[in-house]
Amino acid sequence: MTPGIFVTGTNTGVGKTLVAVALTHALAKEGYRVVGLKPVASGSDPDSTGRLRNPDALALQAASSVRLPYELVNPYCFEPGIAPHLAAEEAQQVIAVDDLVAWYGRATADADIAIVEGAGGWRVPLHPLGFLSDLPEQLGLNAVLVVGLTLGCLNHARLTFESIQHAGCAPFLGWIGNRVDPGFQRLEGNLHTLERLLGGPPLAIIPPLGPTAGPAEVAEFLAGPLTRAAVAPLLRAARPR
């Protein structure tokens, strides 16, 4: 099975797409055959032909060095911007974990490594049963947690970390702090607390970014010594071809 990194977050809107696209971009730039994937997405719009397309999935598709048709990048795409299991229920579409596992095999067949972006937080429900986290747990994908640095993040981060660790099936690769709230008070104190709660220092801290910042700029914050040390085992297993 192709090795992969599953990017999850403490909540929706914390920068999962930003991090996933930047990681995909950085690995592609280094010569790896990398594919960015979005298994389940809600909040999508029809294109000129009427087919639903999600902007996060399109960004991952564009950053990948392995070119895949959209339907393979994002197999479950829903229009309303609501919880994916509710969108799937409204569309009368079943999302089964076994089907997601089989999809991952097809989507990564020509890749050295995959970057898989989750939806919302770690334990997002599927329809009718299960959780999206069942996918990385069954595949043994390495989990990266994006922490939106704002009030309440300590509790959300620790609970997510405990859930990942409790199952013990998706190795915890580390966490990335994203300064989504420039006015977040006592930043340094909160970062020290997160280091204690999450078992180590962050892979990177993404500073407040302007509206025009793209994956190339964010990739700079994900290519430091800590990040390289964390992903080195995966990269050794995914040597460029």
Per the structure, the complete domain to which residue 58 belongs is given by 4-237
| SS3 assignment, position 184 | coil
Tell me the CATH number at 160: 3.40.50.300
Q: How many domains does the chain contain in total?
A: 1
Per-residue pLDDT for 202 more than 50? Answer: yes
Q: Is 38 a catalytic residue?
A: yes
Q: How confident is the model at residue 144 (pLDDT cuts 50, 70, 90)?
A: very high
Pick the residue with more confidence: 2 or 219?
A: 2
Per-residue pLDDT for 67 more than 90? Answer: yes
Catalytic residue among 25, 38, 85, 156: 38
Please give the model's pTM, rounded to 2 decimal places: 0.93
- Burial state string for 17-43 with b = 16 or more CB within 10 A and e = fewer than 16: bbbbbbbbbbbbeeebbbbbbbbbbbb
pLDDT at residue 226, as a whole number: 47
Phi first, then psi: what are they for 74, rounded to 5°?
-135, 85
Chain-wide mean pLDDT for the chain? 91
Per-residue pLDDT for 153 more than 50? Answer: yes
Per-residue pLDDT for 241 more than 70? Answer: no
Mean pLDDT within 86-97: 96
Closest Cα to residue 117, out of 157, 158, 73? 73
